[in-house]
């Protein structure tokens, strides 16, 4: 079995001029630097639904980059999640969130409920950027990266463990849901 883990980096926003690109670019660099991961970009702003479904299907794990809009996650992210079903089953999902005072944590808590319904496993550790617009400079670099990088390393270690364990389990015993 291939030891490389396909990690889908899911963009949570499709707004014009979105800040999601800045946060996702940072997350992508962190994932690319982590040994054993292959990055698969899943951006609902520029992917047809069929292509998004194919990319979700090949992934062993996911990192969702989501803003918090009005105490929740964006509708295009919900549409992407709901556009497939079994492709999410028995796979781990981790979160990088951003926003104002809460750093997107309210959106993440709602997403944990959604992914539980889809038989996905949410990783407890996450990365959150409160006041995100002040944390990144104009080039997209974090002004003080140490804490976020440590949090991301912890989250990716957990994501890798779950991805390997669940991939082995899916290969050994196909995951089935009750009809």
Give the pLDDT of residue 17.
93
Number of domains the chain is built from: 1
CATH code of the domain covering residue 18? 3.40.50.360
Residue 13 phi, psi dihedral angles, 5° rounding: -125, 150
Average pLDDT of span 112-141:
97
* Residues pairing with 65 in the sheet: 11, 96
Residue 156 phi, psi dihedral angles, 5° rounding: -70, -35
Give the pLDDT of residue 50.
86
Do 79 and 52 touch, CB atoms closer than 8 A?
no
pLDDT at 106 over 80: yes
Average pLDDT of span 45-56:
90
In a domain, 100, yes or no: yes
In a domain, 88, yes or no: yes
> Can you list the alpha helix ranges (DSSP code H) found in the chain?
20-33, 49-58, 75-82, 105-117, 132-135, 146-172
Give residue-wise pLDDT tens across range 1-48.
Answer: 568 999 999 999 999 999 999 999 999 999 999 999 999 999 999 888
In a domain, 178, yes or no: no
Question: Where in the sequence is the domain holding 71, given as residue range(s)?
Answer: 5-172
- The mean predicted confidence, pLDDT, of the chain is 95
In a domain, 76, yes or no: yes
Give the global pTM: 0.95
Angle, alpha carbons 69-65-112 (nearest 5°): 75
Do 150 and 156 touch, CB atoms closer than 8 A?
no
In a domain, 145, yes or no: yes
Give the pLDDT of residue 179.
60
In a domain, 144, yes or no: yes
In a domain, 143, yes or no: yes
In a domain, 177, yes or no: no
């Amino acid at each position: 079995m291939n030891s490389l883990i396909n990690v889908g980096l899911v963009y949570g926003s499709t707004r014009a001029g979105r800040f999601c690109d800045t946060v996702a670019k940072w997350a992508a660099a962190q994932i690319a630097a982590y040994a054993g991961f292959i990055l698969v970009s899943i951006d609902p702003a520029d992917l047809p639904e069929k292509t998004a479904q194919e990319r979700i299907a090949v992934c062993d794990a996911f990192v969702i980059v989501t803003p918090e809009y009005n105490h929740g996650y964006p509708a295009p992210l919900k549409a992407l999640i709901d556009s497939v079903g079994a492709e999410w089953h028995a796979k781990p999902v981790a979160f990088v969130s951003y926003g104002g005072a809460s750093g997107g944590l309210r959106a993440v808590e709602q997403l944990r409920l959604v992914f539980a319904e889809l038989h996905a496993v949410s990783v407890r550790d996450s990365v959150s950027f409160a006041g995100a617009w002040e944390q990144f400079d104009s080039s997209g670099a974090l002004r003080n990266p140490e804490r976020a990088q440590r949090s991301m390393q912890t989250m990716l270690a957990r994501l890798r463990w779950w991805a390997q364990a669940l991939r082995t389990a899916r290969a050994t015993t196909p995951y089935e849901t009750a009809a």
